[in-house]
Amino acid sequence: VASIGEKNAYLLSAVMLCALLLCAPGAPVEDAPTNSPAGDHSGEEEEERPSDQLSASPFWALILDATKQHKEEFENEFKNDGLKYIYLEGYKFTSLPACCPHYNFSKEACLHRMFHGLLIYTVLLKYVEKEYPGNSICKEFRNYSGLLINLIKGKMRKREQVTALTSSQEGQLLRDLDNSASFHRKMTAHSILRQLHYFLLEGKRMISRKETRQSQAMRTVIPITFNQMLKR
């Protein structure tokens, strides 16, 4: 029969094991960021209901429904010139935000990139509207982008690290696009709309993948009860 001291030792060991299990990181190694915000840790273990997941947001879908019409609009506008959508590949410029990478990038880092990128597109679309007043894609983006940006920020653990663009930064973005040639201005506007579509599409895809992985990881964890630990 174990003495009281031995029983207390077993109890202390069980408590310490519980603490270690609770502190153990739960995120897969693949999700570790290589270029994430300072102080970012894996900590993406809180499971969300499917309806609460960012990738399921109707605002995201509404903007994408509008941007996916751009290919047809472009080819209709330039059908007499024989221009195909692929032509816009040659009209990329440095102010266009980069998409979230497929590998070695955390959900948190992707959220920060999406947030900052959408702020930039909010400014770039002013250029599009100047060239194409009343553009339907710009209208839909204006209606729902603010709601989507707030949702993205709400999912961040380091939301204090993101800030709005200054008026100086906004002005510089627009000045960088200045060009006197009418054809070049039109191509620049269309390039912005094309890249916006893929930026949103890839961002949604990457965040959805992170959310799915996170949910699967939570479901595969087998809880160990306190009594089970004492029996070992």
Percent of residues, the chain, with pLDDT higher than 70: 71
Of 160, 207, 158, 164, the C-alpha closest to 39 is 158
Q: What mean pLDDT comes out for the span 124-139?
A: 96
> Of the spans 24-28, 72-76, 216-220, which averages the highest pLDDT?
72-76
Q: What mean pLDDT comes out for the span 61-86?
A: 94
Evaluate if residue 163 carries a pLDDT over 60.
Answer: yes
Evaluate if residue 76 carries a pLDDT over 60.
Answer: yes
- How far apart (Å, rounded) are the C-alpha atoms in residues 73 and 93? 22
More reliable by pLDDT, 25 or 224: 224
Q: What is the pTM of this model?
A: 0.72
Q: What mean pLDDT comes out for the span 175-188?
A: 92
Span of 36-40, 78-82, 162-166, 196-200 with lowest mean pLDDT:
36-40
